[in-house]
Amino acid sequence: MKPDDPVLDWVLDALDDLKARDVTVLDVRGKTSVTDYMVVASGTSERHVHALADNVVEKLAEHRIKPLGVEGERSRDWVLVDLGDVIVHVMLPETRDFYQLEKLWQVEEEAGENA
């Protein structure tokens, strides 16, 4: 079930517009006070990663939402767009495999289930 959050919907639409790969939404409410959702997506090339992140920023600007920050604009493999309640990570597949953000947040879930 998809959360009811318009910012999240707009982010997902922006990523879908430019055909992001393997888009995952991590609901991190209750696990961190930094954000509610993390969106992790892959691009097919350095140019695609940057185009996806730029499209997220542009799509949210249409709704008068500015990011709190954009990190990695000069990076070749990972761009982060901080929208407050939603943080978007757009990466090359190799970078995503290396950092395994999804697994990092799942570890806490599994530890809580076993407690």
Tens digit of each residue's pLDDT (9 = 90 or more) over 19-65: 999 999 999 998 889 999 999 999 999 999 999 999 999 999 999 99
**Confidence at residue 17, expressed as pLDDT on a 0 to 100 scale:** 98
**Confidence at residue 4, expressed as pLDDT on a 0 to 100 scale:** 77
Tens digit of each residue's pLDDT (9 = 90 or more) over 42-53: 999 999 999 999
Structural tokens at position 18 = 């430019």
Cα of 25 vs its chain's centroid, Å: 7
Provide the Cα torsion 16, 2, 66, 99; round to 10°: -70
Q: Span 59-88, mean pLDDT?
A: 96
Q: Sketch out the chain's domains with CATH numbers.
A: 6-110 (3.30.460.10)
Give 2's pLDDT tier (boundaries 50, 70, 90).
low
CB 39 within 8 A of CB 15: yes
Give 104's pLDDT tier (boundaries 50, 70, 90).
confident
Nearest Cα residue to 102 out of 42, 40, 53, 44? 40
Instruction: Please name the residue that has the structure tokens 């395994």.
Output: 100
